[in-house]
Copies of this chain bind each other. A is one copy, B any other.
Amino acid sequence: MYGSSVNETWAEQLDTGTGLIQLMTLVQGIYATVSERHDLTPVQARLLCVLIGGPRGMAELAQMFGVEKAALTGLMDRIEKRGFAERSAVPGDRRAVQVTLTAAGRRAASAFHREMGAALGRLIDPIPAEDREQFRSTVAGIVMRCRTSPSSE
């Protein structure tokens, strides 16, 4: 059941856990499709989106992504080779580097973000109007509670 793709179920009688797995698969698929349409891998798209918020250090990014620093090195090498982000020196700490979006990176990031928003909108719009706000707040609640008690214990 928890390996199920979206195309094999009864869906109206879906228990919540199975529903969450299928929703995850669905959103993941949309994220992958939109990324690909912008000639990005999902991880690259995520990196660009994070960098919209401002420059970050390598270790900081690794921690945000839950991967080792060495993985970030490779990821940055590829994104830098494509001209979407740059490493630059950090004044005051000669070990560290700052990762910043280039102009092309900003364009790519916001184009991706815009299309992702539209795609998610098509998912959300058909929700009956009277259910929408409660759905939003239930999702927000789940996410918020998991900030407090990180499930990865």
Contact surface of A with B, Cβ cutoff 8 Å: 1-9, 11-17, 19-24, 26-31, 33, 45-52, 64-66, 112-113, 116-117, 119-124, 126-127, 131-132, 134-136, 138-147, 151-152
Please give me the 5 A-B residue pairs with the lowest Cβ-Cβ distance, nearest first: A3-B49, A11-B144, A3-B46, A17-B120, A19-B139
Residues of chain B within 8 A of A21, CB atoms compared? 27, 31, 116, 120
Residue contact A49 to B14, C-beta cutoff 8 Å: no
Q: Determine if B117 and A30 form an interchain contact, defined as CB atoms under 8 angstroms apart.
A: no
Which interface residue of A64, A138, A152 has the most chain B CB atoms within 10 A? A138
> By the criterion CB–CB under 8 Å, are A20 and B16 in contact?
no
Choose among B9, B124, B138 the residue that contacts A131 (Cβ–Cβ < 8 A): B138
A19 and B136 in contact (CB under 8 A), knowing A66-B5, A123-B146, A142-B127?
yes
